[in-house]
Structure 1
Amino acid sequence: MNLLENEITDYDFLLTLIPQKKPFVMVDKLRFYSDKKIISSLTISEENILTNNGDFSEPGLIENMAQTIALHTGYKYFLAQKPAPTGYIGAIKKAEIFELPRISKELTTSVEIIHDIMGVTLVHAKVVCDGLLIAQSEMKTALAPENA
């Protein structure tokens, strides 16, 4: 069940949901949210610091997936009327990059929560661009000790 009535496109509000700040923000829309899944979007701009020669980089794709996880946690905390916590990538079990998207393309990133216990979240993430799967990974994130 989608716990989000309308997608969130207010960039300033999104910034309150994640610990990252400009210029290191790799999500710009929250499209779907439930307890076990989130879908975000990012339109790649020329100003994005993780672009190289007109392409969004591999680290950019990994960070986009990680920030989508952070967005899930941040929105969950928002719903509970708590400030967004700080978290870290704990491990990347498997990451596959099939294609690097060009500037101006929109990424749609979906994350499915496999486990979420005691501040540690294990997920499967997929990034789609123009209807094609361009990256996927399994990641584990952990909340900073003061938030766990």
Structure 2
Amino acid sequence: MTATPTPRVTIKDVAARAGVSKGAVSLAFNHKPGLSEATRDRIFLAARELGWSPSLTARTLAGSRVDVVGLAVCRPARALGLEPWYMEFVSGVESVLAEHSSSLLLRLVRNMDEEVGVQEAWWRGRQIGGSILVDFHADDPRVAMTERLGMPV
């Protein structure tokens, strides 16, 4: 006997449960003005009850912001695990991003040229909405690259 798959909950389902439009659900989840606190609370309650959350992929395809922050670190993986400062730093970044329903894209690179290439590829591929830069030095090539691309850092 084959089980019938459970249909995926959509923004339309949340809107129907909360008695609002799909646009109102979008306003609530994008933290935009235009809704009363009571309506916003009703929308969030409906979403929790249905187990729904916005699709990051759909938001990206719709042209909304990308809720991923990039961090490329020029360190060998083994050394990174031995440096308590970096472990605390990454943990702190993750905590703050989680509070804002955002994620961290972390990449360990071998040198500054590789980091510049990775950051630029992430940005052009819309994988990140901005980046965190660490370990600055004089004439840092990442500064020119982020300015040229208009990438938030």
Q: Is the structural similarity TM-score above 0.5?
A: no
- Structure number with the bigger relative contact order (C-alpha 8 A, sep ≥ 6) is 1
TM-score w.r.t. the length of structure 2 is 0.23
TM-score w.r.t. the length of structure 1 is 0.23
User: Relative to total residues, which structure has the larger strand share, 1 or 2?
Assistant: 1
Rg larger for: 2
